Amino acid sequence: MMIKSTNPFSGKKVNTYEAHSLQGTSRIISSVDKAFHSWRNTSFQQRAAFMLNLASILRSKKDELAKLMAIEMGKVMREGIAEVEKCAWVCEYFAQNAETMLENEPIETQYSSSFVSYQPLGTILAVMPWNFPFWQVFRFLAPTLMAGNTAVLKHASNVPGCALAIEELVREAGFPENVFRTLLVGSSLVEGIIRNPAVKAVSLTGSTPAGRSVAAIAGSELKKCVLELGGSDPYIILKDAPLEQSATICATSRLLNAGQSCIAAKRFIVVDEVYSHFLEHFTDKMNEARFGDPCDPEITMGPLARTDLRDELHQQVVKSVKKGAEIVLGGEIPNLKGAFYPPTILENVKPGMPAYDDELFGPVASVIRVKNEAEAVKVANDTPFGLGAAVFTKDTVAGSRIAELQLDAGCCFVNDFVKSDPRLPFGGIKQSGFGRELSLQGIREFVNVKTVVVK
Ligand code: NAP
């Protein structure tokens, strides 16, 4: 089988690669498993030295890596460069903090000694999406390797060049051979890879259906999994919100990565008193996006990653309009070569429409009018997802209370858009998955929390 990458701007083939067979993946996994037995015995200082090398190589190659993302999945250069810098940050963060995070913890008991020790599990499989082709992998890779695990990556089939580049960067940083390897395979081989006895756990970032399938297989093997899945993040605009500023933040969040982010703002829930004003500012901001060639530095929004994904998004818009949603902005496929979709705003969005019930993975905003704060919270939580959420208000005490106690999501922000950060736990509830990445919680997902007692 071949794996092919296509430039979503030009429609031209980028490259074709021979995929690994299941036997081929078994050979690689067996080398990675062998590497685990020596990697687990390296000190935190040794691992940190490789990780810091990796960070500086990433920084030195940020332009060329951003170009690779632009070509394979349409990310604009500015965002690609920022993504690579964030990968360097996560490498540095775990290089500097892993040892403290995984230090033995003494516990007072009647024994002469008792403590908790955090031991690596072995080879961990990462199944990753194309939308942040470097960041999604690095936020898994840095804590996983620092904890003493080894890892294999099955990346999304449309970004094989990024997948191979990551393997090469790890090699270049001086990590021992086979501590991290890329498997070039389609999703049909994931089951066989999870069932490989040398694979001890799996981390998947992707859609809810992919998560459900991977969780079922991992469950049948009694292997742990961490799932970072889709979202339909609600952003609540209360009557005392600074409207212009909130509208700018909301539009930025909706349009980042051409709207293809799990934690992009997707549903905008606005209280009646400020609805018209907010919509006016928000429409202006959404309209400012300039879409075109992602390699052109003037361009703020590239094409979507694939034309089939663009067409699927458009169908969600069409179906919502058929059920009564109204188009305020965009909503038509532009007459351009490339997988473009314009910034789009839908209002009068109601339950039963894809724009209300489902994840819209592109630059389409669903605006929902509500009577008051209580109704806003109810609508925000009226979703099968629970990844991020935000609330905009001048009253930060009230905002913090809503974020902490009322919104059913894994990451809740007040007066800003939801962002991932190496220092903060990241993940969702409900159909957005379970487990956490990043921070102390993230690095402790793939370890044996071992109790040691000495009489
Ligand atoms: P996707 O289609 O689910 O693919 C993600 C990865 O899973 C790819 O490597 C894909 O391989 C693989 N895959 C797909 N179906 C599978 C199956 N049945 N069994 C095993 N593996 C399977 O998702 P995507 O379109 O790449 O990414 C967009 C989705 O990811 C959105 O829903 C988004 O919200 C979510 N996401 C979540 C987070 C988060 O942190 N929560 C972050 C980013 C994205 P192939 O490419 O070979 O099909």
Tell which one of 90, 188, 207 to mutate to probe ligand 1, the residue whose CB is within 8 A of the most ligand atoms.
Answer: 207
Which one, of 97, 151, 98, 95, lies nearest residue 128 by Cα?
Answer: 151
Which DSSP string do the residues of 280-293 spell out, in sequence order?
HHHHHHHHT--BS-
Copy the structure tokens of residue 451: 């109790």
Tell which one of 86, 205, 432 to mutate to probe ligand 1, the residue whose CB is within 8 A of the most ligand atoms.
Answer: 205
Give residue-wise pLDDT tens across range 22-34: 999 999 999 999 9
Averaged pLDDT for residues 260-287: 98
Spatial CB neighbours of 447, under 8 Å, sequence gap ≥ 6: 102, 118, 119, 120, 121, 147, 149
Catalytic one of 262, 359, 411, 437:
262
Kindly state the percentage of the chain with pLDDT values over 90: 99
Catalytic one of 72, 83, 228, 359:
228
Averaged pLDDT for residues 441-453: 98
Determine the distance separating the centroid of ligand 1 and the alpha carbon of 49, expressed in angstroms: 32
* Separation of alpha carbons 39 and 43, rounded Å: 9
Averaged pLDDT for residues 118-144: 98
Determine the distance separating the centroid of ligand 1 and the alpha carbon of 281, expressed in angstroms: 33
Tell me whether residue 146 is exposed, middle or buried, using C-beta atoms within 10 angstroms of its C-beta: 0 to 12, 13 to 18, 19 or more. buried
* Separation of alpha carbons 182 and 275, rounded Å: 48
Determine the distance separating the centroid of ligand 1 and the alpha carbon of 315, expressed in angstroms: 20
Tell me whether residue 45 is exposed, middle or buried, using C-beta atoms within 10 angstroms of its C-beta: 0 to 12, 13 to 18, 19 or more. exposed
Beta bridge partner(s), residue 150: 123
Q: Which atom of ligand 1 is nearest to the CA of 262?
A: 34
Determine the distance separating the centroid of ligand 1 and the alpha carbon of 207, expressed in angstroms: 5
Give residue-wise pLDDT tens across range 323-370: 999 999 999 999 999 999 999 999 999 999 999 999 999 999 999 999
Which one, of 150, 126, 130, lies nearest residue 8 by Cα?
Answer: 130
H or E element, residue 208: helix 208-220
Give residue-wise pLDDT tens across range 220-273: 999 999 999 999 999 999 999 999 999 999 999 999 999 999 999 999 999 999
* Chain-centre distance for alpha carbon 327: 29
Assign 325 to helix, strand or coil. coil
pLDDT score of 297 more than 90:
no
DSSP class of 123:
E
* Separation of alpha carbons 301 and 291, rounded Å: 5
Domain ranges of the chain: 2-229+429-454, 233-414
Averaged pLDDT for residues 381-386: 98
257 close to ligand 1 (CB < 6 Angstrom): no
* Separation of alpha carbons 208 and 228, rounded Å: 9
Mean pLDDT value across the chain: 98
Determine the distance separating the centroid of ligand 1 and the alpha carbon of 318, expressed in angstroms: 24
Q: Decide if 2-229+429-454 and 233-414 have a common fold.
A: no
In CATH, the number for domain 233-414 is: 3.40.309.10
pLDDT score of 1 more than 90:
no
Averaged pLDDT for residues 399-418: 98
87 noted as active-site residue: no
357 close to ligand 1 (CB < 6 Angstrom): no
Tell me whether residue 41 is exposed, middle or buried, using C-beta atoms within 10 angstroms of its C-beta: 0 to 12, 13 to 18, 19 or more. exposed
Give residue-wise pLDDT tens across range 44-81: 999 999 999 999 999 999 999 999 999 999 999 999 99
CB atoms within 10 A of CB 328: 18
pLDDT at 276: 98
| 136 phi and psi angles, rounded to 5 deg | -60, -40
Kindly state the percentage of the chain with pLDDT values over 70: 100
What is the reported pTM? 0.97
User: Which string of b and e fits 202-228 if b means at least 16 CB within 10 Å?
Assistant: bbbbbbbebbebbbebbeebebbbbbb
215 close to ligand 1 (CB < 6 Angstrom): no
For the CA atoms of 121, 125, 127, 133, the dihedral, rounded to the nearest 10 degrees, stands at 90
- Kindly indicate whether the domain formed by 2-229+429-454 is annotated with CATH number 3.40.605.10: yes
167 noted as active-site residue: no
